[in-house]
Chain A
Amino acid sequence: MPSFVARCCGSLAVVGAAVGLLSGCFTDRQNEGQRLYAQRCASCHGDQGQGLRRLIPPLAGADYLKTHRTQLPCLIQHGQQGPMVVNGIEYNQVMPAQHDLTDAQITNLLNYVQTHWGNRLEPYTISEVTTLLVPCHGIDGK
């Protein structure tokens, strides 16, 4: 009996180590967009991208995502200030910049927004985001 336990645990340990090694081979990028959204966006824009009354614009069903597609990477990286109109309603809040996000992280974040809460918008590629970020590089000294 004890020898069985030892053998069993031994093989379990081997399997465990193998799983550990394997998982090291994969990044957790799959859910990065969702994670970044929860950490950096959900407090204002809501768990479901619903926004907050006339204070914070929604992301779910927001026409702005379609009409400003090419500007969204810069908007995330450098923030937003001043009035903006989303679905016919004017909002005027400060959105903080996210200077530390990489192009890949911005891509994942954008694609999460593009494809959730009923949004069925075309995902971005990383190279597309990199290109779209060029005009706003250095606009605020960062």
Chain B
Amino acid sequence: MIRAFVSRSLPLLTALALLGGTQACQFNTDTTAATQRLPYLGEPDVVAPGDTVYPTLPTFTLTNQDRQTVTPATFAGKVYIADFFFATCPSICPKMQSEMLRVYEKYKNDKRVAFLSHTIDPEHDSIPVLREYAERLGVKDASQWHFVTAPRDTIFRLAGKYMVAAQRDASAPGGAVHSGAFVLVDPQRHIRGSYDGTNAEQVDQLLRDLPVLLQEVSGASATAAK
């Protein structure tokens, strides 16, 4: 009975498979950076039916390794990738920073992309410490990758807004626990992606998502220019 059904419907199945195959091909060509759109992360506010407002990151004032003030204006018109670390972190930070370096190397000198690493240990990570850390990583100045500090409360509150878990914990190696998330932010300060910075596959996904967001941003600025 089953066999009879299969043999009778085999041509149909083959046709379906073929159709599926061609659809898959078309699907692949359709989902280039031009048409794909990254999601907005975070809990949206529905202000009116059909009018959904996604959360934006708050404004902030931070200081980078070159003693420059870093605010959202620093990233005007850019997309940036944020993470949280500390210089003496013996656990996940080196792995995270080596993954971040992969992204940095790919977009080095690309003015559309910036990097923002927040220390969660501002007591130890003074500006000279941050500068040395950056230089040792091969980041010569703060033109594209900012290693920033701020009062503890500011940093930890910001981490929450980036949906990154971070807290002091005397029992953890280095005295703090934090997640190794890389957070992708668009020029309107919306979070458009969050990736585990200790996981090479997720960072590969970030590398695939970045051009999609850049395409969207350049499309938006072209529309605005008209």
Chain A residues in contact with chain B, CB under 8 A?
Answer: 42-44, 46, 52-56, 92-96
Kindly list chain B residues whose C-beta atoms are within 8 Å of the C-beta of A93: 88
A-B contact pairs, 19 of them (CB 8 A): A43-B94, A43-B95, A44-B90, A44-B95, A52-B94, A52-B98, A52-B137, A53-B101, A53-B136, A53-B137, A53-B138, A54-B135, A54-B137, A55-B133, A55-B136, A55-B137, A94-B174, A96-B90, A96-B173
CA distance in complex: A52, B132 (Å): 14
> Taking the complex as formed, is B92 at the interface, i.e. its CB lies under 8 A from any CB of chain A?
yes
Q: Is B94 a contact of A94 with CB atoms below 8 Å? A: no
- Tell me which residues across on chain A come within 8 A of B198, comparing CB atoms: 43
Considering the chains assembled together, what is the distance between the CA atoms of A43 and B89 in angstroms? Answer: 11
Given A55-B133, A55-B136, A95 contacting B90 (CB threshold 8 A): yes
Task: Check if B215 is an interface residue, CB within 8 A of chain A.
Answer: no
Q: Are A54 and B88 in contact (CB under 8 A)?
A: no
Question: Which 3 residue pairs are nearest across A and B when measured between Cβ atoms?
Answer: A54-B136, A55-B136, A44-B94
Output the residue of A46, A55, A56, A96 with the most chain B CB within 10 A.
A55
B94 and chain A: residue at smallest CB distance: A44
Bound together, the chains give a CA A42 to CA B98 distance in angstroms of: 12
Instruction: Give the contact-size bracket for chain B.
Output: 10 to 19
A76 to chain B, nearest CB (A): 13
Point out the residues of chain A lying under 8 angstroms from B94, CB to CB: 43-44, 52, 55-56
- Tell me whether chain A's interface is mostly helix, strand or loop, or mixed: loop
In the complex, chain B residues whose CB is within 8 Å of the CB of A43: 90-92, 94-95, 198
- How many Å lie between the Cα of A95 and that of B94 in the bound state? 12
Which residues of chain A are near B173, meaning CB under 8 Å?
96
Contact of B88 among A42, A46, A53, A94 (CB under 8 A): A94
Contact A46 B98 (CB under 8 A): yes
Chain A residues positioned under 8 Å from B92 (CB to CB): 43
The answer, yes or no, to whether B97 is at the interface (CB within 8 Å) is yes
Q: A43-B90, A44-B94, A94-B90 are in contact. List 16 more A-B contacts (CB 8 A).
A: A43-B92, A43-B94, A43-B198, A52-B97, A52-B137, A53-B136, A54-B135, A54-B137, A54-B138, A55-B94, A93-B88, A94-B88, A94-B174, A95-B90, A96-B90, A96-B173
Cβ–Cβ < 8 Å partners of B133 in chain A: 55
> Closest residue to B132 on the A side, CB-wise?
A92
| Cα separation A119 to B132 with both chains bound (whole Å) | 30
Chain B positions within 8 Å of A44 at CB level: 90, 94-95
